Structure 1
Amino acid sequence: MTAPKKAMVLAAGLGTRMRPLTNDRPKALVEVAGRTLIDHMLDRLAEAGVETAVVNVHAFADRLETHLKARTGAPQIVISDERGELLETGGGLRKARPLLGEDPVFVANIDSVWTQDGVPAIDSLAQAWDPERMDVCLLLARLDRTLGFDGAGDIFMSDEGALTFRGEAPSAPFAYMGVHICKPDLVDDGPEGAFSLATIWRRLAPLGRVHGVVMDGFWMHVGDPGARDEAEAKLAEAKAG
Structure 2
Amino acid sequence: MADAPHPYPTQAVVLAGGQGSRLRPYTDDRPKPMVEIPGTGSPIIGHQLNWLAEEGVTDVVISCGHFAEVLQDWLASAQLPLRVTTIVETEPLGRGGGLKYAAASLPRPEEPWYATNGDIWTRFPLREMAAFHHERDAEATLALARPRIPWGVVETDAFGHVLDFIEAPPSPYLINAGVYAFSAAFRDLLPARGDHERTTFPRLARERRLAGYPLPHGAYWRAIDTAKDLAEAAKDLGVHGR
TM-score bucket of the superposed structures, by smaller chain: 0.7 to 0.9
Give 1:56 shift.
0.6
Q: Distance in 1 between matches of 2:149 and 2:30?
A: 24
For residue 21 of structure 1, give the secondary structure of its aligned residue in structure 2.
coil
Among candidates 144, 147, 164, match of residue 140 of structure 1? 144
Give 1:132 shift.
6.4
Match of 1:89 in 2: 95
Match of 1:102 in 2: 110
Could you report, residue by residue, the CA deviation over 1:181-217 in whole angstroms, capped at 9, with x for unpaired residues? Answer: 1125434354443x22212111211211111222221
Among candidates 40, 48, 53, match of residue 46 of structure 1? 53
Check conservation: 2:33, 2:118, Cα contact below 8 A.
yes
Check conservation: 1:12, 1:86, Cα contact below 8 A.
no
AA of the residue aligned to 2:85: V
Q: Which has the larger radius of gyration?
A: 2
Check conservation: 2:100, 2:191, Cα contact below 8 A.
no
AA of the residue aligned to 1:198: E
AA of the residue aligned to 1:202: P
AA of the residue aligned to 2:205: A
Q: Does 1:229 align with 2:231?
A: yes
Question: Under a length normalisation based on structure 1, what TM-score does the superposition of the two structures give?
Answer: 0.79
Measured at CA, do residues 231 and 79 of structure 1 come closer, stay the same or move farther in structure 2, by a change above 3 Å? Answer: same
AA of the residue aligned to 2:55: A
Work out the percentage of aligned pairs sharing the same amino acid: 30
Q: Distance in 2 between matches of 1:95 and 1:31?
A: 27
For residue 33 of structure 2, give the secondary structure of its aligned residue in structure 1.
helix
For residue 180 of structure 1, give the secondary structure of its aligned residue in structure 2.
strand
Q: Distance in 1 between matches of 2:190 and 2:241?
A: 43
Q: Distance in 2 between matches of 1:130 and 1:221?
A: 26
Q: Distance in 1 between matches of 2:13 and 2:59?
A: 9
Q: Does 1:238 align with 2:227?
A: no
Among candidates 4, 10, 16, match of residue 5 of structure 1? 10
For residue 188 of structure 1, give the secondary structure of its aligned residue in structure 2.
helix
Give 1:121 shift.
2.9
Among candidates 120, 131, 139, match of residue 112 of structure 1? 120
Among candidates 18, 21, 28, match of residue 23 of structure 1? 28
Q: Distance in 2 between matches of 1:68 and 1:201?
A: 32
- Coordinate RMSD, CA, aligned: 2.4
Give 1:57 shift.
0.7
4+ residue runs of structure 1 moved beyond 3 angstroms? 189-193
Give 1:237 shift.
3.0
Consecutive unaligned residues in structure 1, runs of 5 or more: 149-170
Measured at CA, do residues 18 and 123 of structure 1 come closer, stay the same or move farther in structure 2, by a change above 3 Å? Answer: same
Consecutive unaligned residues in structure 2, runs of 5 or more: 1-5, 151-170
